[in-house]
Amino acid sequence: MAGDFWFNTETHEVEEGRTSDWSKLMGPYGSRDEAAHALDKAKARAKEWEAEED
């Protein structure tokens, strides 16, 4: 959907609208900046979950 932003895990580029195959995308995000930091957010969540398991 246009206006949504996606992070492409293969190219590491932000896309406006879902233009690539869904299996390569993270999102949708509400802004270009949010999408650009998708991997940082995912890494932080993974660390939080790992800490909860310990």
pLDDT tens-place string over residues 7-29? 999 999 999 998 999 999 999 99
Confidence (pLDDT) at 53 = 85
- Sign of the alpha-carbon dihedral angle for 36, 11, 3, 39: negative
- The DSSP string of 5-49 is EEEETTT--EEES--S-GGGEEEEESSHHHHHTHHHHHHHHHHHH
Confidence (pLDDT) at 10 = 96
Q: Say whether pLDDT at 54 is over 80.
A: no
Q: How many domains does the chain have?
A: 1
Residue 8 φ/ψ region, left for φ over 0, alpha for ψ in the -120 to 50 degree band, beta for the rest: beta
22 lies in which domain range? 5-53
Q: Say whether pLDDT at 46 is over 60.
A: yes
Between CA 2 and CA 15 the distance in angstroms is: 10
Q: What is the pTM of this model?
A: 0.81
* In the chain, % of residues over pLDDT 70: 94
